[in-house]
Chains A and B, each alone.
Chain A
């Protein structure tokens, strides 16, 4: 299973390296969102720091959906999702490969947006870079686990672009709130945050496992 997952991961990375569709579309969307927040809300420095984490994760959530939509769209385009089903591999390996690829893409989007976020909202990200990267990874894991599963569900419907956000956002609210709270703490605007860190870790563990287990039933016709 691991070998099959790595093969699928490698394929997704190669396609994204060549096309840059998922990450670039998500990045542009995130930047536009942050620009709009920055200019629409006339905030002083303290307000920007206090609210900035929320804006970052809102931008990430909507940009991430664009990237996740692509995850199974590329499989549907030329029937490759059926071909993957025909391959003699555990279908959970398909989830695992795409899940890891999506974590990488989500993390990359977060890294690309971070410098602009720092500039727009004048937040001290440099001091807390290690903590922020940890939060980014935890956020990417939870978002990608649920996003990979629902991307497969939505890809089989005509309303793929509409269905994915409708399915994904409600389920990822706990992870997004936890990511916002922990990011605010890392930026020095929250006092206590151990509950939110624990929530994020538990969310990642529970949903990554659950999505891994149910994925093969999602793929079946």
Chain B
């Protein structure tokens, strides 16, 4: 997989009836990088992520994850992807431990019990292992959601507005985790409209506006203020 993009979207167009959610989008997430995709609500960010992880299979164009076409990918291919959303993807009436064990078993993780304990410790949730997810704070739930997404050690992490509803400390923790994941060789695509947070984790930045990719560039030395100006200019064009 060396040199292969973690995610490669080419000519992706998605229509919902007459509404065009995505129009000829070409986006690439190289291996071991984090791409942050900005855009207003309704720009198509979530649709692009849903297509990228295989939740939506009817679209025009092609989406490859580590060289495998998502439309024809087998069930096992989904193990390469971890997905974090503003929904937790956790069962409120199961404990933190039971949730992680369930997902570990479903993903075929070897040693699900040990893996669960390891993640609970890594995300500082050991003290809450026996508590139901319903009783956890929003920040703890987001940590649990991250732990769940990483339980099977994916190579590509897709994060859909992950900073939504998090306080400052939780945002910092999330950003550190994303940087750590990418630093350890993983790839990530983060969608957000939080410019500061998004730039803080990005190796590459893109902007989606009304279904079209209007900006795509390496992060380089781009400052927050410069990018904000680009952002305003792109979205008012």
**A74 CB contact (under 8 Å) in B88, B91, B107:** B91
The 8 Å CB contact of A77, one of B56, B92, B94, is B92
| Minimum CB distance partner of B79 in chain A | A88
**Given contacts A14-B98, A88-B107, A89-B75, are A83 and B83 in contact (CB under 8 A)?**
yes
| Complex CA distance for A77 and B92, rounded to whole angstroms | 9
Is A7 touching B105 in the complex (CB atoms < 8 A)?
yes
Q: Does A198 contact B (CB under 8 A)?
A: no
The answer, among A8, A78, A85, A90, for a CB contact under 8 Å with B88, is A78
- Whether the pair A15, B108 counts as a contact (CB closer than 8 A) is no
Q: Is A42 engaged at the interface, CB distance under 8 Å to the other chain?
A: no
Considering only residues 70-102 of chain B, those with a C-beta below 8 Å from chain A are 75-79, 81, 83, 85, 87-94, 98, 102
Interface positions of A from 17 to 59, Cβ below 8 Å from B = 18-19
Chain A residue nearest to B148 in the complex (CB)? A83
Q: Which residues of A contact B83 (CB under 8 A)?
A: 82-83, 86
Please determine whether A221 and B56 come into contact, CB atoms closer than 8 angstroms: yes
B53: interface (CB < 8 Å): yes
Q: Take A82-B89, A86-B83 as given contacts and tell me if A220 and B102 are in contact as well, using a CB distance cutoff of 8 Å.
A: no
Chain A residues near B75: list those with CB within 8 A.
88-90
B78, A11: Cβ atoms closer than 8 Å? no
Q: Which residues of B contact A214 (CB under 8 A)?
A: none
**Are A78 and B90 within 8 A (Cβ)?**
yes
Question: Taking the complex as formed, is A79 at the interface, i.e. its CB lies under 8 A from any CB of chain B?
Answer: yes
**Per-position contact with A for B143-160: 1 when CB-CB < 8 Å, else 0?**
000001000000000000
Q: A11-B102, A86-B81, A88-B108 are in contact. Are A80 and B94 (CB under 8 A)?
A: no
Known A78-B87, A88-B108, A221-B50; contact A15-B93, beta-carbon cutoff 8 A? yes
Contact at B53–A86, with CB atoms within 8 Å?
yes
Interface string of A76-98 (1 = CB under 8 A from B): 01111011111111100000000
CB < 8 Å A-B pair total: 73
Docked Cα-Cα span, A87 to B152, in Å, equals 10
Chain B residue nearest to A7 in the complex (CB): B105
Most-contacted residue by chain B among A4, A18, A78, A89 (CB, 10 A): A78
Q: CA separation between A48 and B165, bound complex, in Å?
A: 59
Interface SS of A by simple majority: helix
- CB contact between B89 and one of A8, A15, A79, A221 (< 8 Å): that residue: A79
B106 touches A8 (CB 8 A): yes
B130, chain A: closest CB distance, angstroms: 12
* Interchain CA distance A19-B93 in the complex, whole Å: 7
- Contact with B76, one of A15, A77, A88 (Cβ below 8 angstroms): A88
- Closest partner residue, chain B, to A83 (CB atom): B89
Determine whether the beta carbon of A80 is less than 8 Å from that of B108.
no
A79 to B55: give the CA distance in the assembly, Å.
Answer: 12
Residues from chain B with a CB closer than 8 A to the CB of A15 are 91, 93-94
Return 15 A-B CB contacts under 8 Å, by A number: A7-B106, A10-B102, A11-B91, A78-B89, A78-B92, A80-B89, A80-B90, A82-B87, A83-B103, A85-B55, A87-B78, A87-B103, A87-B107, A88-B79, A90-B75
